[in-house]
Amino acid sequence: MAGDGSVKLIDEKTGKRTDGRKFNELRPTKIEVGVLNNADGSALIYMGNNKILAAVYGPRELHPKHLALPDRALVQCYYRMSTFSVAERKSPAPSRREREISKVISDALNSVILTKDFPRTTIDIYIQVLQADGGTRCASLTAACTALADAGIPMRGIISGVATGLVNDTVVLDLHDIEDQKGSGDIPIGYSATLDEISLLQLDGVFTIKQFEEAVKLAIEGAKQIYEIQKKALREKYALIRAEFAGESEEEEAEEEDTIEIVSQSLAESEASVDETAIDEVESEELEEKKTEEFSEVEEVSEVEEVSEVEEQDLVSDIAKELNDELDDEKELEEDITSLETGEPEKNNEAITDDSSESVENETEHKEIDDLEE
Burial grade of 105 (CB within 10 A; 0-12, 13-18, 19 or more): buried
146-205 residues near ligand UDP, rule: CB under 6 A: 177, 180, 188
Which residues neighbour 201 within 8 Å (Cβ) at sequence distance 6 or greater?
187, 188, 189, 190, 216
Q: Does 135 bind ligand UDP (CB under 6 A)?
A: yes
Contact window for ligand UDP (CB under 6 A) among 61-69, 120-128, 134-142, 147-155:
134-142
Q: Which residue's CB is nearer to ligand UDP, number 68 or number 86?
A: 86
Q: Does 97 bind ligand UDP (CB under 6 A)?
A: yes
Q: Rounded distance, CA 226 to CA 191, Å?
A: 10
Q: Smallest gap, in angstroms, from Cβ of residue 135 to ligand UDP?
A: 5
Contact window for ligand UDP (CB under 6 A) among 5-13, 102-110, 135-143, 190-198:
135-143
| Residues 151, 56 contacting (CB under 8 angstroms) | yes
Q: Does 89 bind ligand UDP (CB under 6 A)?
A: no
Which residues neighbour 223 within 8 Å (Cβ) at sequence distance 6 or greater?
160, 161, 162, 189, 190, 191, 193
Q: Smallest gap, in angstroms, from Cβ of residue 50 to ligand UDP?
A: 7
Q: Which residue's CB is nearer to ligand UDP, number 97 or number 235?
A: 97
Q: Does 133 bind ligand UDP (CB under 6 A)?
A: yes
Helix ranges (DSSP H) in the chain:
96-110, 136-151, 177-182, 209-342, 345-373
Q: Does 137 bind ligand UDP (CB under 6 A)?
A: yes
Q: Does 90 bind ligand UDP (CB under 6 A)?
A: yes
Q: Does 132 bind ligand UDP (CB under 6 A)?
A: yes
Which residues neighbour 184 within 8 Å (Cβ) at sequence distance 6 or greater?
2, 3, 4, 5, 165, 166, 167, 169, 205, 206
Q: Rounded distance, CA 72 to CA 63, Å?
A: 15
Q: Which residue's CB is nearer to ligand UDP, number 133 or number 150?
A: 133
Q: Does 327 bind ligand UDP (CB under 6 A)?
A: no
Peptide bond into 28 cis (omega under 30): no
Q: Smallest gap, in angstroms, from Cβ of residue 198 to ligand UDP?
A: 16
Q: Rounded distance, CA 197 to CA 107, Å?
A: 14
Q: Smallest gap, in angstroms, from Cβ of residue 132 to ligand UDP?
A: 4
Site residues, ligand UDP (CB under 6 A):
81, 86, 90, 97, 132-137, 177, 180, 188
